[in-house]
Chains A and B, each alone.
Chain A
């Protein structure tokens, strides 16, 4: 690590003169963002290995300071960047005459939004975790990994070329592996961590091949060069070769792997084994959005091929619907929110797919806030009730003293997630659905309708959790995780402390007011402006939408429709889980086979295990037992035995009898004579 620091060559970072673009040298500040979390990571790492490290809170403070400073710099960047771009090269990384990839940062409005989300949520989670993780043996180790995660995520977001993004990509994969497997003594956690890393790796292979194909077609992996080339082609109208059109599909594979979309989503629900702050930060707000950021960043490339974006849209939509159905049938709060994250990510991809890049990124932005709030809230519940997460065993937390703030922020976050009017989620989801009905594309209307239905389901399962856990009669059973050791019979929940409450309040406010950023003005307010200024903007189809809308203006129409759907969803949830809980059981009995299947997550995990993992292991066994030991070693032993076989054939002649030898000699001589005679 020390070596990495020396490489940073501080004066270069501080040098205000950035190369190409003429912004006020803002690019060079970008170098600072990954630097501070890195220093924090090293400091916490050192602390982790000193025996006294676990006792003090110092690690938490260092991490919060590092991330906080990065957040401040990101905010300054976001304000100063306006609609310009920044670029700074820290040092040359890979330089063969074919392949050129430097450790360089590229800054544009889209990057600054992502930076704000990453560092902002990161700091808040660090504050939350400083209290939540207190008392755990790996306290310093946790903060080392979190700050390392922020370093990797910022590198990913700031990267100016695909290979550096790949570095960040795998870096976050490593940190998620380390953090999911944080409680390494629980076999389930270790298995979940391994599963996350491997599924991500499958996606990363697609991403790597995509990078190579990009290099092959564009001769370079740097965004600036690629976008310039695309503009040149579009200007000259040259025909786009099939090879170039396959690049988006490969990159998509990487994006779906990292953002847990349909084929490769299985790792996210299991990632809940990790500590809750990790779930909130990595598996809700930041890492899983990397896939969305990749597609947003490379949107011009995706536009080249006619089929890329529709596929993205449809995969996103189906994933949203699919995971919403599973979410409705789960009982573990964190699992429900995990499936809801997969579903909301589906929405973001749908947004990008239907050419509403603003909608997609804005949903990403708002989702980060309310989903983090939901996770941290459920974390507080888990912390307070000794690891209890089953919604059937918790009820009426609103009335328990000290839990009011948590309930309030959870309520606000649930409203946002459900898309209740005027909350953040409402605005972002509405943009996506509106655009779905407007953009001409294969079956995009159907997309819209499915999106609306899923929105209803989302509202239902969100408030199912809320009404079950926070409303209704007060009754709770503690979990088995003797975090704070109390004996069972007269257990009293241990209310969340000030740090947790502060963070929940901030996120709650974010969940409400974040929506206003994207409203107003002709292109969705400040947020829209920022996105349009970046590489992810797409103008064309927008104006045409107004005349041919279903009603006079699709947005007004969509606001009305989605709010009705949201309220209906909330109503059903209220009826079933607050007013008449036994009715829920009766309804479940009515559709028992489907309900049980949904509970078992449509047996997707078992399917993968059966179709892929078990056959591969069988092939492994066959290769080892049959291939190696039997065939190859067999052949080698056989080759080793040939001389011995010849020996065995000749050995009987050596029987020690004098005349036996004489006979052998005479016979041999005769045989040789015959050969010579035959040769004459």
Chain B
């Protein structure tokens, strides 16, 4: 294993993952298209993955990377599910606009 990450380098990685997470969150809240919204959630997942890797490197043990692998698998599963759902929705409402789905309220 290479020398563990110095505190300074760790902060850089964490900064990147933080920014990535916030971008994902904002994208999720603002973009109307369902697929884009799903991609934003994927972005948030990856932000967490980067943080995981950074901490793994900082502590010099591989647990972070193990966790990454599982994050990717779950992200893939969710992608499959999301796309299936989006296809079903498109067949029903022939629009991908998130605003059209507001029948249930109160």
Interface residue ranges, A against B (CB under 8 Å): 651, 654-659, 662-663, 666
Interface residues in B72-106 by Cβ distance below 8 A to A read 98-99, 101-106
Among B25, B98, B99, B103, which residue has its beta carbon within 8 angstroms of that of A666? B25
B98–A659 CB distance below 8 A: yes
Interface residue ranges, B against A (CB under 8 Å): 25, 28-30, 32, 37, 98-99, 101-106
Among A651, A656, A662, A663, which residue has its beta carbon within 8 angstroms of that of B104? A656
A666–B29 CB distance below 8 A: yes
Give the docked Cα–Cα distance between A656 and B37 (Å): 17
Give the docked Cα–Cα distance between A373 and B41 (Å): 111
B29–A657 CB distance below 8 A: no
User: Within 8 Å CB of B28, what residues of A?
Assistant: 659, 662
CB-based nearest A residue for B106: A654
Task: Looking at the assembled complex, report how far the CB atom of B40 sits from the nearest CB atom of chain A, in whole angstroms.
Answer: 10
Among B29, B32, B102, which residue has its beta carbon within 8 angstroms of that of A655? B102
Task: Looking at the assembled complex, report how far the CB atom of A653 sits from the nearest CB atom of chain B, in whole angstroms.
Answer: 10
**CB-defined A-B contacts under 8 Å, sample of 5:** A654-B106, A656-B101, A659-B29, A659-B30, A659-B98
Give the docked Cα–Cα distance between A666 and B24 (Å): 12
User: Within 8 Å CB of A662, what residues of B?
Assistant: 28-29
Task: Looking at the assembled complex, report how far the CB atom of B29 sits from the nearest CB atom of chain A, in whole angstroms.
Answer: 5
Give the docked Cα–Cα distance between A220 and B25 (Å): 88
CB-based nearest A residue for B103: A656
User: Within 8 Å CB of A663, what residues of B?
Assistant: 29
Task: Looking at the assembled complex, report how far the CB atom of A334 sits from the nearest CB atom of chain B, in whole angstroms.
Answer: 77
A658–B25 CB distance below 8 A: no
Among A651, A658, A659, which residue has its beta carbon within 8 angstroms of that of B106? A651
A657–B106 CB distance below 8 A: no
A654–B105 CB distance below 8 A: yes
User: Within 8 Å CB of A655, what residues of B?
Assistant: 102, 105
User: Within 8 Å CB of B98, what residues of A?
Assistant: 657-659
CB-based nearest B residue for A670: B25
CB-based nearest A residue for B99: A657
User: Within 8 Å CB of A651, what residues of B?
Assistant: 106
Main secondary structure of the interface of A (DSSP, over half): helix
CB-based nearest B residue for A651: B106
User: Within 8 Å CB of B32, what residues of A?
Assistant: 659
User: Within 8 Å CB of A656, what residues of B?
Assistant: 101-106
Give the docked Cα–Cα distance between A658 and B98 (Å): 7
Give the docked Cα–Cα distance between A322 and B69 (Å): 112
Task: Looking at the assembled complex, report how far the CB atom of A672 sits from the nearest CB atom of chain B, in whole angstroms.
Answer: 15
Give the docked Cα–Cα distance between A654 and B106 (Å): 6
Task: Looking at the assembled complex, report how far the CB atom of B41 sits from the nearest CB atom of chain A, in whole angstroms.
Answer: 10
Give the docked Cα–Cα distance between A657 and B98 (Å): 8
Give the docked Cα–Cα distance between A657 and B105 (Å): 8
User: Within 8 Å CB of A654, what residues of B?
Assistant: 105-106
User: Within 8 Å CB of B30, what residues of A?
Assistant: 659
**Of A654, A655, A658, most B-chain CB atoms within 10 Å:** A658
Give the docked Cα–Cα distance between A655 and B30 (Å): 16
Give the docked Cα–Cα distance between A658 and B103 (Å): 11
User: Within 8 Å CB of B102, what residues of A?
Assistant: 655-658
Task: Looking at the assembled complex, report how far the CB atom of A322 sits from the nearest CB atom of chain B, in whole angstroms.
Answer: 77
Give the docked Cα–Cα distance between A654 and B99 (Å): 14
Instruction: List 15 other contacts, CB 8 Å, given A656-B106, A657-B98.
Output: A656-B102, A656-B104, A657-B99, A657-B102, A658-B37, A658-B98, A659-B28, A659-B32, A659-B37, A659-B98, A659-B99, A662-B28, A662-B29, A666-B25, A666-B29
B105–A658 CB distance below 8 A: no
Task: Looking at the assembled complex, report how far the CB atom of A677 sits from the nearest CB atom of chain B, in whole angstroms.
Answer: 15
Give the docked Cα–Cα distance between A658 and B89 (Å): 14
**Of B29, B30, B106, most A-chain CB atoms within 10 Å:** B29
User: Within 8 Å CB of B37, what residues of A?
Assistant: 658-659
User: Within 8 Å CB of A658, what residues of B?
Assistant: 37, 98-99, 101-102
Give the docked Cα–Cα distance between A178 and B44 (Å): 91
Task: Looking at the assembled complex, report how far the CB atom of A502 sits from the nearest CB atom of chain B, in whole angstroms.
Answer: 92
Task: Looking at the assembled complex, report how far the CB atom of A659 sits from the nearest CB atom of chain B, in whole angstroms.
Answer: 6
The 4 closest A-B pairs by CB, nearest first: A656-B105, A656-B102, A658-B98, A657-B102
Task: Looking at the assembled complex, report how far the CB atom of B101 sits from the nearest CB atom of chain A, in whole angstroms.
Answer: 6
Give the docked Cα–Cα distance between A258 and B35 (Å): 96
Give the docked Cα–Cα distance between A659 and B41 (Å): 13
CB-based nearest A residue for B29: A662
Task: Looking at the assembled complex, report how far the CB atom of A647 sits from the nearest CB atom of chain B, in whole angstroms.
Answer: 11
User: Within 8 Å CB of A659, what residues of B?
Assistant: 28-30, 32, 37, 98-99
Give the docked Cα–Cα distance between A663 and B101 (Å): 16
Task: Looking at the assembled complex, report how far the CB atom of A585 sits from the nearest CB atom of chain B, in whole angstroms.
Answer: 87
Task: Looking at the assembled complex, report how far the CB atom of B37 sits from the nearest CB atom of chain A, in whole angstroms.
Answer: 8
Give the docked Cα–Cα distance between A656 and B101 (Å): 8
Task: Looking at the assembled complex, report how far the CB atom of B21 sits from the nearest CB atom of chain A, in whole angstroms.
Answer: 11
**Of A651, A659, A663, most B-chain CB atoms within 10 Å:** A659
User: Within 8 Å CB of B99, what residues of A?
Assistant: 657-659
Give the docked Cα–Cα distance between A654 and B102 (Å): 10
Task: Looking at the assembled complex, report how far the CB atom of B48 sits from the nearest CB atom of chain A, in whole angstroms.
Answer: 15
Give the docked Cα–Cα distance between A285 and B58 (Å): 115
Give the docked Cα–Cα distance between A656 and B30 (Å): 16
CB-based nearest A residue for B101: A658
CB-based nearest B residue for A667: B29
Give the docked Cα–Cα distance between A415 and B104 (Å): 101
Task: Looking at the assembled complex, report how far the CB atom of A459 sits from the nearest CB atom of chain B, in whole angstroms.
Answer: 92
User: Within 8 Å CB of B29, what residues of A?
Assistant: 659, 662-663, 666
Give the docked Cα–Cα distance between A656 and B104 (Å): 6
Task: Looking at the assembled complex, report how far the CB atom of B35 sits from the nearest CB atom of chain A, in whole angstroms.
Answer: 14
Give the docked Cα–Cα distance between A662 and B98 (Å): 12
Give the docked Cα–Cα distance between A655 and B101 (Å): 11
Task: Looking at the assembled complex, report how far the CB atom of A602 sits from the nearest CB atom of chain B, in whole angstroms.
Answer: 72
